[in-house]
Amino acid sequence: MTEFAPTRRALVAGAALMGAAAASGSAFAQNSQSNSSGAPMTAQAAQFPKPPYPEQQQPWPGLAQRMNPRPDHGEETYQGTGRLSGKRALITGGDSGIGRAAAIAFAKEGADVAIAYLPAEEPDAQEVKQVVERAGRKFAAFPGDLREQSYTTGLPGQAVQALGGLDILVNNAAYQQWVPRLEDLSDEQFDQTMKTNLYAMFWLTKAALPHLNQGAAIINTSSEVAAAAPENLIDYSMTKAAILLFTKTMAKQLASRGIRVNAVTPGPIWTPLQVVGGQKPEKLPQFGATTPIGRAGQPVELAPLYVALADPAFSYSTGQVFGATGGDAQPGA
Catalytic sites, residue numbers: 236
Among 172, 193, 237, 330, binds ligand NAD (CB under 6 A): 172
8-state DSSP, 256: G
C-alpha to C-alpha distance for 298 and 319, rounded to whole angstroms = 25
Verify binding: residue 330, ligand NAD, rule CB under 6 A.
no
Site string for ligand NAD, 247-266 (x = CB under 6 A): -------------------x
In contact, 174 and 271? CB cutoff 8 Å:
no
In contact, 290 and 284? CB cutoff 8 Å:
no
For the CB of residue 285, give the shortest distance to ligand NAD in the complex, in Å: 15
C-alpha to C-alpha distance for 104 and 286, rounded to whole angstroms = 28
Give residues with Cβ within 8 angstroms of 187, minimum separation 6.
none
Give the interface segment with ligand NAD, choosing from 33-41, 95-103, 133-141, 304-312 (CB under 6 A): 95-103
Q: Which is nearer to Mg ion, 95 or 167 (CB)?
A: 95
Among 145, 191, 311, 328, binds ligand NAD (CB under 6 A): 145
In contact, 168 and 216? CB cutoff 8 Å:
yes
Give the interface segment with ligand NAD, choosing from 5-13, 143-151, 253-261, 308-316 (CB under 6 A): 143-151
Verify binding: residue 122, ligand NAD, rule CB under 6 A.
no
Verify binding: residue 121, ligand NAD, rule CB under 6 A.
yes
Pairing verdict, β 40-41 and 33-34:
antiparallel
If binding means CB under 6 A, how many residues of this protein chain bind ligand NAD? 29
212 binds, options ligand NAD, Mg ion, none, Cβ within 5 to 8 A by partner type = none
Among 24, 32, 96, 247, binds ligand NAD (CB under 6 A): 96
Distance of CA 159 to the CA centre of its chain: 19
Residue whose C-alpha is closest to residue 237's, from 180, 197, 183: 197
Among 41, 72, 73, 99, binds ligand NAD (CB under 6 A): 99
Name the site residues for Mg ion (rule: CB under 5 A): 95-96, 121
C-alpha to C-alpha distance for 122 and 176, rounded to whole angstroms = 20
In contact, 172 and 146? CB cutoff 8 Å:
no
For the CB of residue 119, give the shortest distance to ligand NAD in the complex, in Å: 9
